[in-house]
Amino acid sequence: MQHTEQLYIDGRWTPSSGDHFLDVISASTEQVIARVPAATPEDVDAAVQAARRAFGGWAAMPTARRAELLHRLHRGLAARADEIARTITGEIGMPLKLSQRIQAGLPIKVMDSFARLVTQLPLEEKVANSLVVREPVGVVGCITPWNYPLHQIVAKVGAALAAGCTVVLKPTEVAPLSAYILAEIIDQSELPPGVFNLVVGTGPVAGEALASHPEVDMITFTGSTRAGKRVSELAAATVKRVALELGGKSAAVVLDDADLAQAVKSTVSNCFLNSGQTCAAHTRLLVPAERYAEAAQLAVSAAKTFTVGDPFSDTAKLGPLTSAIQRERVRNYIRKGLEEGAELLLGGAEPPEGLAKGYYVRPTVFGRVDPKMTIAQEEIFGPVLCLIAYRDEADAIRIANGTPYGLAGGVWGSPERALRVARRLRAGSIDVNGGSFNPEAPFGGYKQSGHGREYGKWGLEEFLEVKAIQF
């Protein structure tokens, strides 16, 4: 990457109007690996104006041509997959083998899906004496997080571009480098100037300038519920459309007829993926009270296999957290769990042995967790599992639904019974017996986990307005 000290606005690499830069820190070495501009409100305005100028031509472009250009972006991402994986591992610390499959592999699949969907989604239909048409919403501001940096970018940018919208992307300043790889791919494509713009900076400056800008028609945001509320407040002043993908406190409900060993092992793996920094992680393991002791033993055994270490090594299954701030936040939650009386079965707040550098946290399992405890109610965003016993199926459903969140969840048991319970969970995405992630199915939350959906035709429809023309 040659342009990380610049912004990408109106089809050109350009310096920021300010003179402040932000360091990008390696999660595993704590070394500075790059620096990026701290974009100013003036930079954001220049990017928005470029997107506004480009909107008319891009929206009018035939969908077949837009699809062709998105396929080029897909091929560009695929060609740089190894670089993407190594870059993101360096930034956030996901073990490289996982980064190759997830951090690089998923964005490639998602971009391909939008390139195909853009020509398949019906944009007009006749309803009695009306012609109902779908049109691009306009200029879209995309604000994306650090845990799956490129995956979250492509989920928004790919869909918005496919729909005919123009984009201003404000990626996280913590892990912005994969956004630069995408911008370089776009710069080498035939995307018209201004269709895609990249501004990097902090949330309180660049993010807020984008969310409040009167020429932005829509904001799509992924991040914490607290930050999502702020984005909504700023967007409300201009009544722009808002899509939010926020926090979660997802439950895995293990029914009494489930394969307990498989359910516990899979839930621990789900919880600890990306060092627990996954919004849809199943961080609460709900088991029948009569099988609690067996489940606790299985959970500890599974968690012990998550060796902590250098994410570029072949042996580490658990890399560091993304930042020093995140590490201390997780440690504080572990301390809070102990203060409130949860039983520490494995791990703890102490640093892992032999890792003097890097933002590492021990894989941690809490038992005898009361559903009302802080660690059972709030999103920790670290490798911390809460084991909760329930009395019966109704009690399990009550506990699973008993948080402010509703992003995801899982159910383990006989298929018919598990499906019945899945229908009663108030969350946007439920896995039955370990069902795998589907990048063409809708993803998003209920309650304080946000609103709007990403991926597949549902993700594309988020960026379309509906118009009725009567005859």
> Any idea which residue has 């991402």 for tokens?
77
| Helices of type H across 142-196 | 149-163, 177-187
Indicate if 454 belongs to the active site.
no
Task: Please list the residues that pair with 125 across neighbouring strands.
Answer: 132
Cα distance between residue 412 and residue 422, in whole Å: 9
469: exposed, middle or buried (C-beta count within 10 Å: 0-12, 13-18, 19+)?
exposed
Indicate if 279 belongs to the active site.
yes
Q: Which of 91, 184, 245, 454 is catalytic?
A: 245
DSSP state of 433: T
Q: Which of 142, 165, 271, 279 is catalytic?
A: 279
What number of CA atoms fall less than 13 Å from residue 312's CA on the CB side?
Answer: 12
Cα distance between residue 17 and residue 40, in whole Å: 7
Q: Tabulate helix, strand, coil % of the chain (nearest 5).
A: 40, 20, 35
Task: Please list the residues that pair with 464 across neighbouring strands.
Answer: 136
For residue 27, the Cα-to-chain-centroid distance in whole angstroms is 18
Decide: 172 and 202 in contact? Cβ < 8 Å: no
Buried b (16+ CB within 10 A) or exposed e, 345-371: bbbebebbeebeebbbbbbbbbbbbbb
Cα distance between residue 410 and residue 87, in whole Å: 31
> Any idea which residue has 């995408």 for tokens?
182
Helix (H) or strand (E) holding 103: none
55: exposed, middle or buried (C-beta count within 10 Å: 0-12, 13-18, 19+)?
buried
Tell me the catalytic residues. 245, 279
